[in-house]
Amino acid sequence: MLDSLGPLSVRPLHAPKLIPWLTRFARSGTPQETERISRALSALNARVYEDLIPLLKDIGLSGELRSHGALSVYESEEGYARDSAEWECKRSRGVMVQEISGEEARRLEPSLGRIVCRAVLMPQWSHMNDPKRLVHGIRESLLRNGISLRQGDVTRIEPGPDCVSLIFDGGHRISTEHAVVAAGAWSGVLARRLGEKALLESERGYNATLPNSGVVVHRQLIFAERKFVATPMSCGLRIGGAAEFGGLNARANFRRSRALVELARRYLPDLETEGGTYWAGHRPATPDSLPVIGASPRHPRVFYAFGHGHLGLTQAATTGRLIADLIMRKLPPIDLSPYDIGRFN
């Protein structure tokens, strides 16, 4: 954990602030909790195509979803054996998993080197060609439909009996019928200002996008023992991973992006690494890996939609649909109690 380039790292200065989160995280690791959490995650994940595909069609971006599956690859039998409980859990939740040999993996992905001795194919998996195009597409579609967008830092939320006011940095105020706090890893600060207990940390991740990688990859590759992935996108091969707990204001350490590229070469020996662009982002992490989706117990006009950790893109359309149901007073299609903010009290 203290290796700043390892898959999981904690910045020492931030460690004391992590104690409440880590305490809750430890409690989430019991067999009963794991069962409950995986059930609640799978209730969301089972819906994601149902909610995402019509949205993509609406905004004219159906072609951005690439449904080619994903391949989790192993460099040792021991690594594969260590993950057996995870695969069993996924199978029990309806995830299709197909165990294949290293040779079979290379037949599917000829760029993989000899290091791969085992793999697991997940045919239901999809990836987006480029998340940035998705965000732009959604914005354009909102504007075309007469929605006005205002960019700015909300410093305060003031709920009242008839409306809720958002106060922006600089003093500008907007009053609305409802407000949804969907500010990613920064949502904890806003929720706490509203009097809620919210255990949310930044789990920072890094990536490198190689526009001329020199290798052909057909589907997302997951390097299971080293906890990182390579995804073929329209803008290049994106190599991403790392879980760094250092708070929202720590400087990014882009040596991590470079380290991921070097690691990827172990599996993709012909990988060309010149000309990469590097990026770091804050994953909003709850200690039980479940997002917060639901109404504020204190302020009926305020709703929460944050804490999606590693799955924020995957679960975004579903979360949007669930929040819309709540605001429109429709019965949501799944039980939302596991995602209630009150669980942190």
Ligand X SMILES: Cc1cc2nc3c(=O)[nH]c(=O)nc-3n(C[C@H](O)[C@H](O)[C@H](O)COP(=O)(O)OP(=O)(O)OC[C@H]3O[C@@H](n4cnc5c(N)ncnc54)[C@H](O)[C@@H]3O)c2cc1C
By CB under 6 A, name the one of 7, 69, 102, 184 that touches ligand X: 184
The 269-308 site mask, x for binding ligand X (CB under 6 A), equals ------------x-xx---------------------x-x
| Rounded Cα–Cα distance for residues 340 and 198 (Å) | 10
The 101-120 site mask, x for binding ligand X (CB under 6 A), equals --------------------
- 7 touches ligand X by CB under 6 A: no
Rank residues 188 and 338 by Cβ distance to ligand X and give the closer one: 188
Total residues binding ligand X (CB under 6 A): 23
Coil vs helix vs strand at 2:
coil
| Rounded Cα–Cα distance for residues 268 and 115 (Å) | 9
- 320 touches ligand X by CB under 6 A: no
Contacts (CB under 6 A) with ligand X, residues 238-257:
240
Residues in the chain: 345
Phi and psi dihedrals of 293, rounded to 5? -135, 115
Coil vs helix vs strand at 266:
helix
CB atoms within 10 A of CB 102: 18
Asked whether 113 and 146 are in contact (CB, 8 A), the reply is: no
- 173 touches ligand X by CB under 6 A: no
Asked whether 29 and 264 are in contact (CB, 8 A), the reply is: no
- 311 touches ligand X by CB under 6 A: yes
| In the complex, minimum distance from the CB of residue 18 to ligand X, in angstroms, rounded to a whole number | 18
CB atoms within 10 A of CB 39: 12
Residues 304, 124, 127: CA angle, nearest 5 degrees:
65
| In the complex, minimum distance from the CB of residue 83 to ligand X, in angstroms, rounded to a whole number | 18
| In the complex, minimum distance from the CB of residue 212 to ligand X, in angstroms, rounded to a whole number | 21
| In the complex, minimum distance from the CB of residue 101 to ligand X, in angstroms, rounded to a whole number | 26
| In the complex, minimum distance from the CB of residue 284 to ligand X, in angstroms, rounded to a whole number | 5
Near ligand X by CB under 6 A, which window of 90-98, 115-123, 309-317, 335-343?
309-317
Rank residues 25 and 186 by Cβ distance to ligand X and give the closer one: 186
Near ligand X by CB under 6 A, which window of 60-68, 80-88, 259-267, 311-319?
311-319
Contacts (CB under 6 A) with ligand X, residues 197-226:
205-207
- 183 touches ligand X by CB under 6 A: yes
Give me the residues paired with residue 74 across strands: 118
- Kind of pairing between the strands at 127-128 and 118-122: unpaired
Which value, in Å, is the radius of gyration of the alpha carbons in the chain?
21
Rank residues 80 and 206 by Cβ distance to ligand X and give the closer one: 206
One-letter identity of residue 331: L
| In the complex, minimum distance from the CB of residue 81 to ligand X, in angstroms, rounded to a whole number | 26
N- to C-terminal Cα separation, the chain: 28
| In the complex, minimum distance from the CB of residue 182 to ligand X, in angstroms, rounded to a whole number | 5
Of 12, 14, 37, the residue nearest 24 (C-alpha): 37
Query: What are the distances in angstroms from CA 226 to CA 111, 263, 264, 277?
Result: 18, 9, 10, 21
Rank residues 161 and 171 by Cβ distance to ligand X and give the closer one: 171
Q: Interface with ligand X by CB under 6 A: which residues?
A: 153-154, 182-186, 190, 205-207, 240, 281, 283-284, 306, 308-314
